[in-house]
Amino acid sequence: MSANTGFIGLGHLGRAMAGRLIGQGTKLTVWNRTPGRAEGLRAKAAKSPADLAGQCDVIFLCLFDSEAVREVFTGPEGLLSGNCRGKVIVDCTTNHFEAVPGFYGLAAQAGAIYLEAPVLGSVVPASQGELTIVAGGNETAFGRARSLLDKLAKNIFYFPTPMTATRLKLVNNMVLGSFMATIAEAAVLGEACGVERAKVLEVLGSGAGNSGVLNAKRQKLIEGDFAPHFSAAAIAKDLNYAQELSRALNRPFLMAGMAREVYSLVQRRGDDTRDLSVVFEVLQGLTK
């Protein structure tokens, strides 16, 4: 595998992933719509996605949604207008399941190979190489990207059938959104019982609330620090995608449907740029 690696999308998660790759000895060329996001990274900045494509053999995408992926692919000076022949595009974006077949097709038309690789986890595990990656698609592309994925993840699952990885990522985030909303509501109720919030969370962590979600968000809940690691806007988007997946498969969307409504409330309050754990603050402000 070539040492020439590209990274497009330096939001909170993408920057942490790029930093991890650099820290593990990967020479990166990066591009982001807001150039300032690359400041402080020991990486070369490309002028455009097309420019980056001409310099790199394996190209990571970590974008907000499928519209952003499509724009990077086909917009002015888009990735696929560059020299993509023989390149592997590793898409870590949480995509809409209906968009993914089109991404495979667009990449193939440009002579590239598209690999689904959505990640489970956010900023802290990304910076420590402890993400979980659910990869899917072409086995040769997966093999070419594997050594880079190993630098980012402690667990990697590979599914050869296209769209499986994307669907499983939505299933995972259905759980994430539901757990976070439930833990937040439990913490609010526990405080209303006159128990200190940290103690409520300690009890939950020793009982039915024990989960990766609680462990990841415990300090944010205790300190009321909702600086974004994984934004409320992102989980709201993912829950919408998951609901549409459920409808497409003629399945109900019951428990997670309530979490989706809770995050819609977060959005209406204008708090969706903050961490998804801000749902605690929103629920705390509600009364009967």
Q: What is the pLDDT of residues 63-82, one digit of tens each?
A: 999 999 999 999 999 999 99
Model pLDDT for residues 107-159, shown as the tens digit of each residue: 999 999 999 999 999 999 999 999 999 999 999 999 999 999 999 999 999 99
Question: What is the Cα–Cα distance from 270 to 200, expressed in whole angstroms?
Answer: 27
Judged on CB neighbours under 10 Å (0-12, 13-18, 19+), 43 is buried
Residue 45 is part of a domain; what is its CATH number? 3.40.50.720
> What b-and-e string marks burial along 259-280, b requiring 16 or more CB atoms within 10 Å of the CB?
bbebbeebeeeebbebbbbbbb
The domain tally of the chain equals 2
Angle at 25 between CA 140 and CA 159, to 5 degrees: 25
Do 20 and 124 share a domain, yes or no?
Answer: yes
Of 111, 138, 162, the last residue of a domain is 162
Phi-psi sector, 25: left (phi>0), alpha (psi -120 to 50), beta: left
Token pair of 59 as six digits: 């190209």
pTM of the model: 0.95
| Angstrom distance (rounded) from CA 278 to CA 284 | 10
Does residue 137 share a domain with residue 82?
yes
**Both 143 and 43 in a single domain?**
yes
The predicted pLDDT at position 35 comes to 83
Enclosing domain of residue 184: 167-284
pLDDT above 60 for 194: yes
CA distances from 33 to 38, 45, 83, 123, 248 (A): 10, 11, 20, 20, 33
Q: Using alpha carbons, list the distances in angstroms from residue 125 to 20, 80, 120.
A: 10, 31, 9
Residue type, 167: R
Same domain, yes or no, for 48 and 118? yes
Confidence of residue 285 (pLDDT cuts 50, 70, 90): very high
Lowest mean pLDDT among 29-43, 199-213, 239-253, 271-285: 29-43
d(CA 44, CA 29): 5
Looking at residue 51, its amino acid is: D
Q: Is the pLDDT assigned to residue 57 strictly greater than 80?
A: yes
Judgement on whether residues 47 and 186 belong to the same structural domain of the protein? no
97 three-state secondary structure: coil
**Do 207 and 240 fall into the same domain?**
yes
> Could you tell me if 32 and 91 lie in one domain?
yes
The confidence band for 29, taking pLDDT boundaries of 50, 70 and 90, is very high
Average pLDDT along the chain? 96
CB 163 within 8 A of CB 100: yes
Q: Across the strands, what pairs with 91?
A: 61, 116
Q: By percentage, how much of the chain surpasses pLDDT 90? A: 97
The one-character DSSP state at 156 is E
pLDDT confidence of residue 245: 98
Kindly tell me if the per-residue pLDDT of 200 is higher than 70: yes
What is the CATH number for 181? 1.10.1040.10
Q: Compute the average pLDDT of residues 48-69.
A: 98
Residue 272's nearest CA partner among 229, 224, 223, 236 is 236
Task: Let me know whether 40 and 156 are in one domain.
Answer: yes
Last residue of a domain, one of 134, 162, 190: 162
Query: Residue 287: what pLDDT?
Result: 82
Residues 68 and 191 in one domain: no
Q: Take residue 29 and report the two structure tokens written for it.
A: 């060329």
Of 146, 162, 178, the last residue of a domain is 162
On whether both 237 and 117 belong to a single domain, the answer is no
Q: How many CB atoms lie within 10 A of CB 202?
A: 15
Do 35 and 150 lie in one domain? The reply is: yes
44 forms beta bridges with 29
54 SS3 class: helix
pLDDT of residue 1: 38
| For range 249-265, the mean pLDDT | 97
